[in-house]
Amino acid sequence: MIDNDSFSDSLTFPSTTDQVAKADEFLETWLRKIGVPEDTIANLAIAVTELVNNAIKHGNKLKKNKMVTVSITYASGNIEITVADEGEGFNPENIPDPLAEENLLKEIGRGIFIVNSLIDDVKFQFPPRGGTKVTIKKNIG
């Protein structure tokens, strides 16, 4: 457990798929330091892995010169994690429903659905300078 009741940290890395494990290690290390239960760590890790993969592959389109930033903030029993990319952005309303019959057998298109099922709150932002910021929140009591 950390000594104070709040902290924040971030990690920025190039858009290569080998960085996903680095982001996961960063996240899980901080979550363990603040005493988050392992099942909650697992859910947060799954959600953040989905978001980081989306940022690298769909947002930044695997361009190594474009960066992804993962930020984590903890205060008063609430964890907020933001994953930001430097891509073109997208409209979340245009994501096909992964439960629709025509999408059931597709190998892609479930990431945001998974994130929404594991997290208390998900917000998308599209800064004027470009890119996508996805902020997820989880209350850990």
How far apart are alpha carbons 123 and 139 in whole angstroms?
15
Confidence tier at 1 by pLDDT (50, 70, 90): very low
pLDDT confidence of residue 21: 96
6-139: CATH, from 1.20.120.1200, 3.40.50.300, 3.30.565.10, 2.40.10.120? 3.30.565.10
pLDDT above 60: residue 77:
yes
Please, where are the H alpha helices in the chain? 19-33, 38-54, 111-118
Query: Torsion over CA of 10, 14, 19 and 22, rounded to 10 degrees?
Result: -30
Q: Quick: pLDDT tens for 87-118.
A: 998 777 776 665 567 655 555 555 677 787 88
Q: Quick: pLDDT tens for 25-64.
A: 999 999 999 889 999 999 999 999 999 999 999 999 999 9
Q: Where are the domains of the chain?
A: 6-139
